[in-house]
């Protein structure tokens, strides 16, 4: 059933263009308007919402962190993201006008389920973003938007993550459509780019051989750091999580702006540091700042592994290894930027002789709190 791949994880990474396309299918019509009929929360209710709260665990939590940037930028509705396991223990402020989004691949994660039960007890509407038909989380939610990643067998989440991102973008854009916020050229352009994003994922997959080769050379390392800014920050967290769970290496993700506030002390000679670089075309200040971050860590001996857009020449002098990703709008970049990190972790784990599909101590769905 692995279709010739050595691991389910590799097969699932390769299935990502289809998973993304399937999740978009039938939801964007040719005129660029969105149809989310299954949502079951009325436009009138969606217009009332004054706050979005996202709850999730692990990789799904990282999708939520990225969604926050999109939701707030496009809809101007305040959005919080919280680890489901922390949520109900701090007496969160919720009400009838809060929309709680529970993101879960399996639909059975107990922490996320308990968080959504708590939200419903407070009178909030809960929307599940879920990959498993008829599982507990969508059954207990007011509404569900299914991701169509297909079954994910490898313990480490890959294609589910990309489809969670897509589903979050759809919800954010649908909120814009229903509420009329910022509905205009920018949003229309994003919808167009989103509808083409699976082709971009396909293009990234075609260029992964050097990433595999690089990963194999790092099998003897103890630590890998990941840096990013803006939506690249949660991508860095996701890259680090993949490496921890698969390669059993010390891996940490940081917001690059935090480096000087502490983490830069970790940098040692030849320590691999992966940097997710935002597009130079948008938010150029952010881009300049991360380029100086790369310079700083390299001056302290780091081996820099830079993930940057095609055509971004400013990073070239400071990249010991350069991984190119296609040009995408800033908020959609995580869909393409995450893929090399998945491949990197998978290959490193294999090179270290680990069980890629069944990492030690982990289960595919965590049904205890
Ligand atoms: C990481 C991973 C886990 C899950 C987390 C939530 O690769 O698979 O971190 O993302 O346990 O699981 P779901 O999405 O099923 O609620």
Alpha-carbon distance of 81 to 84, in angstroms, equals: 9
Contact 159, 60 (CB under 8 A): no
| Nearest atom, ligand 1, residue 365 CA | 15
Which pLDDT tens digit goes with each residue over 23-34? 999 999 988 899
pLDDT of residue 185: 85
| Nearest atom, ligand 1, residue 106 CA | 15
pLDDT of residue 285: 87
| Ligand 1 atom 11: residue of nearest CA | 58
Ligand 1, pocket residues at CB < 6 Å: 57-60, 104-106, 109, 112, 156-157, 241, 245, 365-366
Q: How far, in Å, is the centroid of ligand 1 from the Cα of 286?
A: 30
| Nearest atom, ligand 1, residue 155 CA | 8
Q: How far, in Å, is the centroid of ligand 1 from the Cα of 289?
A: 32
Residue from 13, 58, 338, 349 to probe ligand 1 pocket by mutation (most atoms less than 8 Å from CB) = 58
Which pLDDT tens digit goes with each residue over 154-208? 999 999 999 999 999 999 999 999 998 877 888 999 999 999 999 999 999 999 9
182 is catalytic: no
| Ligand 1 atom 3: residue of nearest CA | 58
How many angstroms separate the Cα of 248 from the Cα of each of 49, 137, 243, 355, 361? 42, 30, 7, 11, 11
Q: How far, in Å, is the centroid of ligand 1 from the Cα of 293?
A: 31
Residue from 54, 57, 108, 253 to probe ligand 1 pocket by mutation (most atoms less than 8 Å from CB) = 57
pLDDT of residue 1: 84
Q: What is the pLDDT along the chain (369 residues), one digit of tens a residue?
A: 889 999 999 999 999 999 999 999 999 998 889 998 888 889 999 999 999 999 999 999 999 999 999 999 999 999 999 999 999 999 999 999 999 999 999 999 999 999 999 999 999 999 999 999 999 999 999 999 999 999 999 999 999 999 999 999 999 999 999 998 877 888 999 999 999 999 999 999 999 999 999 999 999 999 999 999 999 999 999 999 999 999 999 999 999 999 999 999 999 999 999 999 999 886 568 999 999 999 999 999 999 999 999 999 999 999 999 999 999 999 999 999 999 999 999 999 999 999 988 888 888 888 888
Contact 236, 224 (CB under 8 A): no
């Amino acid at each position: 059933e692995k279709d010739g791949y050595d691991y389910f994880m590799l097969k699932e990474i390769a299935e990502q263009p289809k998973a993304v396309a399937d999740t978009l299918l039938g939801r964007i019509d040719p005129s660029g308007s969105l149809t989310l009929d299954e949502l079951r929360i009325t436009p009138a209710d969606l217009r009332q919402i004054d706050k979005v709260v996202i709850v999730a665990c692990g990789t799904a939590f990282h999708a939520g962190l990225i969604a926050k940037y999109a939701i707030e930028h496009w809809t101007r509705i305040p959005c919080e993201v919280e680890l489901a396991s922390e949520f109900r223990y701090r007496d969160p402020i919720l009400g009838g006008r809060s929309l709680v989004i529970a993101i879960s691949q399996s639909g059975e994660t107990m922490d996320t389920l308990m968080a959504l039960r708590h939200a419903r007890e407070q009178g909030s509407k809960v929307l599940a973003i879920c990959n498993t038909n008829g599982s507990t989380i969508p059954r207990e939610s007011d509404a569900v938007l299914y991701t169509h990643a297909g079954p994910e067998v490898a313990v480490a989440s890959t294609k589910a993550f990309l489809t969670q991102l897509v589903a979050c973008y759809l919800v954010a854009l649908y909120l814009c459509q229903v509420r009329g916020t910022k509905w205009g050229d920018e949003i229309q352009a994003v919808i167009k780019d989103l509808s083409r994003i699976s082709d971009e994922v396909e293009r990234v997959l075609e260029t992964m051989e050097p990433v595999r080769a690089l990963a194999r050379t790092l099998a003897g390392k103890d630590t890998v750091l990941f840096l990013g800014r803006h939506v690249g920050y949660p991508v860095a967290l996701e890259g680090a999580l993949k490496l921890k769970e698969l390669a059993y290496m010390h891996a940490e993700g940081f917001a690059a702006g935090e480096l000087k506030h502490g983490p830069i002390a970790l940098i040692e000679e030849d320590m691999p540091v992966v940097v997710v670089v935002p597009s130079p075309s948008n938010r150029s200040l952010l881009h300049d700042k991360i380029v100086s971050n790369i310079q700083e860590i390299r001056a302290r001996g780091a081996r820099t592994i830079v993930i940057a857009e095609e055509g971004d020449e400013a990073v070239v002098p400071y990249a010991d290894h350069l991984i190119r990703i296609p040009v995408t709008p800033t908020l959609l970049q995580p869909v393409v930027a995450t893929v090399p990190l998945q491949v990197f972790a998978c290959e490193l784990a294999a090179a270290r002789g680990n069980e890629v599909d069944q990492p030690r101590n982990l289960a595919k769905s965590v049904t205890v709190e």
